[in-house]
Chains A and B, each alone.
Chain A
Amino acid sequence: MATQGRGRDAQLAFGETLMVIMVLVFLIGIGMVFYYSASRSSLNTELQHREDVQAVLLAQRVLSMPEVACDRYAGGSCIDSLKLAALARMLGPGAGHDAAAWTTYYGRFAEAAITVRYLTGAQAGQRLPLYDATPKDPGNFTAQQQFIFTTIYDPVADEQDLAYLNVTRYARRQTG
């Protein structure tokens, strides 16, 4: 009888220890789930911020391309309207399309769309599509849009007009 009582005590003690360990493991498991989900959310925020920065960089980069820059005597940094029109023809779908130029600029801009809109001067209100590589499946992409202002210099008329670039950058959605 006494032996059975001691056996039962031992089982109870063992069971108690086991319960404590299970509770411990459960708590640790909860902690790890919380940690990894917070970590994932932080990563998504980080990735979103990166995409925003890349979109801003792209917009600024278009402004500073030497191949369309106006000459330095035109009153500050600006874009040459004739060079801009030439590049738009090379990158556009029309007769002036240049496949090699397209390849070069697609390597730089990737999936993006860039449009120039004139605000003052003789071409005020007019739009000039410069580059359009909008993805065929936009649902799989997130879009960041940036507006950046500049002046466009007409070297023949010697006029400098205000304009802005509407730059939309598409980034593939992160899955999982």
Chain B
Amino acid sequence: MTRKGQLGIQFHWVFTLIGGILFLLFFFVLIRSVLHSDQARTTRELSFDVGTIIAKAPLSPDTFSVADVPDATYRFACEQDAQGGVTYSYVRIDNQSYEDTGLRDIAVFSPATVRGDQLFTATATWQAPFPIASMVLLSNNRTRYVLVGLPQVTKRFVDQGNLGGFNILYVGPGGVSSVTDEGFDRYRFIYFGGYTAPPSAFLTARNSALVVHQDPDGETGTLDFHDSLAPGAPSPPGVPYAGEAMLAAAAFTDSYAAFRCNMAKAEGSLATAKKILLDRLKAILALYDAGNSAHVPDGRCQADYLRGKALIEAYPSPGEESAYNAYVQQGNLRELEDIDSRLVTRGCPRLY
């Protein structure tokens, strides 16, 4: 009898233990799933908020903005297909993405990874020489941009783009050896002139460089992308650029592939911008034909409009690199700007 009772008591506790463990397991799973869904919701909201911050930037051109965001790692990606079309472009927060095509039609030039609790944005309007598209420049205070070159050149680059709020260090020509590592996440060296290797502490894959060879007019030139400063990293051939905004875009992105992909987004507006301008010129020129004396611009302007129309019609399409180089070398971009300035001086509607 006593033995039976003892056996009964032992068995009773085993069932209690099993029941208790099952109960605890159930609540462990429940709590974990709630926390996980809460985390997913937070990431989703943050992804939307960051997308909104970026989408808002082009609405205030020439404005530098600082947005406070939760401390996280923000990864920016842009992918193209074989034909050069943009397939995916997104921002991932701590490796989670809500929408893989969220940035497909916003050109964002930034380091591949931005870590921290602030995002800096500025917007440049790409003009080559007529306005084509808005480009968002994005970074934060943990990426340092080292501008190497003559002060009047580097300061002009920063002032014209309203980029003074970014983390910028000015260094004179040949002074790059004096740069010290202050613990930033990455360094991007932008050389306005020849390339001299920075101190060995910076020669790692996380740092990059851009060498700018500017034409005398300052609006065009070529760019050498050094996506990695690690020894032995390849450097692709020079890439032509047109317009200060394109130069700023190349300065803020840290790889040629990202630059090319986001430029493809901006170039998507080129064909439409060209057609709009030609249609506009057609409307202005029609005033001369109609002899509408109330609104006909100064007679001297007609020749400029006709010449401007011919130049815009001849403007190469995106992707026609050699045609574009030839177009620039013939001085056509400069001529378009000169025509536009002349029209302003004469009180006529501008070319674009």
Contacts and interface: CB of A to CB of B under 8 A. Distances in A.
B280 interface: yes
Contacts, number: 92
Contacts of A69: 125, 131
B58 A61 contact: yes
Interface residues of A, number: 35
Contact of B105 (A87, A96, A108): A108
Contacts of B61: 64
A82 B297 contact: no
A67 B269 contact: yes
A20 to B, nearest CB: 12
A166 B280 CA distance: 24
Interface residues of B, number: 39
B279 A86 contact: yes
Contact of A86 (B60, B133, B280, B349): B280
A67 B273 contact: yes
Contact of B276 (A39, A63, A90, A107): A90
Contacts of B142: none
B272 A104 contact: yes
A87 B269 CA distance: 12
Contacts of A100: 271-272
B168 interface: no
Interface of B: 37, 41, 45, 48, 52, 55-56, 58-61, 104-105, 125-127, 131-134, 268-269, 271-273, 275-277, 279-280, 283-284, 287, 295, 297, 344, 349-350, 352
Interface of A: 39, 46, 50, 53, 57, 60-61, 63-64, 66-69, 71, 73, 80, 82-83, 85-87, 89-90, 96, 98, 100-101, 104-105, 107-108, 155-158
